[in-house]
Amino acid sequence: MGKIIAVANQKGGVAKTTTAINLGAALALESKKVLLVDTDPQANLTSGLGFPKEGLPTTIYDLLVEGHDGEGILETEIPGLWIIPSTVDLAGAEIELVMLPERELRLKRALLPIKKNYDYILIDSPPSLGLITLNGLAAADSVLIPIQCEYYALEGVTQLMNTINLVKTRLNPDLKIEGVVLTMFDGRTNLSIQVVEEVKSYFRGLVFRTVVPRNVRLSEAPSYGKPIFLYDPKCRGAEVYLELAREVVERNEK
């Protein structure tokens, strides 16, 4: 039975999408069957894997709003890695969802019949705590929280934890924290080092050993529509996401 992991943090630019793409690709390279689900109207995960943000026949919009289950799955260039793409049309879905029955549980329902076909399903979330993110948290077995090693790294984390707790009480009592991954670490700055300490003292054992450094190749890859392993497989960013994948597998298979 596949494990559904929501990659979430309502802050923008913390590497949710970069982590979803490259952790997903790394898990596939580790011989896992992986489905990536893009639930962000910005569709950066979709375009980051080389698909258009507009004009695809079936997208996450159809699953969430129209109630089509398990459709629209596309193959990627990495064997073992599939995607349910997003679309810019999803921007209106937040409002359309409000009117629909079981509005928080629509993604859960859509993924239910296909969950068994994968080892891991990673949901990339938009930068908000709105209905789409709630759908991701309600559908997930666990949440993976990327935190950028920057000023105000922990800003908004209390809100995120409150939302996770609310989801646990109301929608998904078994929701766990998969872990916290520190991103865009720069070992030359005291700030990065301080942030690591702060985040570790807040989240304790939940922080992954693997810390993702700032790596230019990781920021270039999406404009070529490729995960890091097809763009520059020897760069530090590629190595680190493979390490993170092994750590995720270790946490789940022990």
Query: Closest distance between Mg ion and the C-beta of residue 44, in Å?
Result: 5
Q: Specify the amino acid at residue 248.
A: V
Residue 204 or 234: which CB sits closer to ligand ADP?
234
Residue 89 or 198: which CB sits closer to Mg ion?
89
Residue 2 or 222: which CB sits closer to Mg ion?
222
Query: Closest distance between Mg ion and the C-beta of residue 136, in Å?
Result: 12
Asked if 80 and 34 touch (Cβ cutoff 8 Å), the reply is yes
Query: Closest distance between ligand ADP and the C-beta of residue 44, in Å?
Result: 5
Query: Closest distance between ligand ADP and the C-beta of residue 220, in Å?
Result: 8
Binds Mg ion (CB under 5 A): choice among 16, 106, 108, 214: 16
Residue 16 or 106: which CB sits closer to Mg ion?
16
Query: Closest distance between Mg ion and the C-beta of residue 3, in Å?
Result: 21
Name which of ligand ADP, Mg ion, none residue 86 binds, using a CB cut-off of 5 to 8 Å depending on partner kind: none
Residue 10 or 135: which CB sits closer to ligand ADP?
10
Residue 17 interacting with Mg ion (CB under 5 A): yes
Task: For the chain, give the secondary structure using H, E and C.
Answer: CCEEEEECCCCCCCCHHHHHHHHHHHHHHCCCCEEEEECCCCCHHHHHCCCCCCCCCCCHHHHHCCCCCCCCCEECCCCCEEEECCCHHHHHHHHHHHCCCCCCCHHHHHHCCCHHHCCEEEEECCCCCCHHHHHHHHHCCEEEEEEECCCCCCCCHHHHHHHHHHHHHHCCCCCEEEEEEEECECCCCHHHHHHHHHHHHHHHHHECCCCCECCHHHHHHHHHCCCHHHHCCCCHHHHHHHHHHHHHHHHHHC
Name which of Mg ion, ligand ADP, none residue 219 binds, using a CB cut-off of 5 to 8 Å depending on partner kind: ligand ADP
Residue 9 interacting with Mg ion (CB under 5 A): no
Pairing of strands 81-84, 74-75: antiparallel
Residue 80 or 146: which CB sits closer to Mg ion?
146
Asked if 212 and 237 touch (Cβ cutoff 8 Å), the reply is yes
The footprint of ligand ADP (CB under 6 A) covers 12-18, 44, 127, 183-184, 212, 214-215, 218-219, 222, 237
Name which of Mg ion, ligand ADP, none residue 215 binds, using a CB cut-off of 5 to 8 Å depending on partner kind: ligand ADP
Query: Closest distance between ligand ADP and the C-beta of residue 66, in Å?
Result: 25
Q: Using CB under 5 A as the criterion, which residues of the chain lie in contact with Mg ion when the complex forms?
A: 16-17, 44
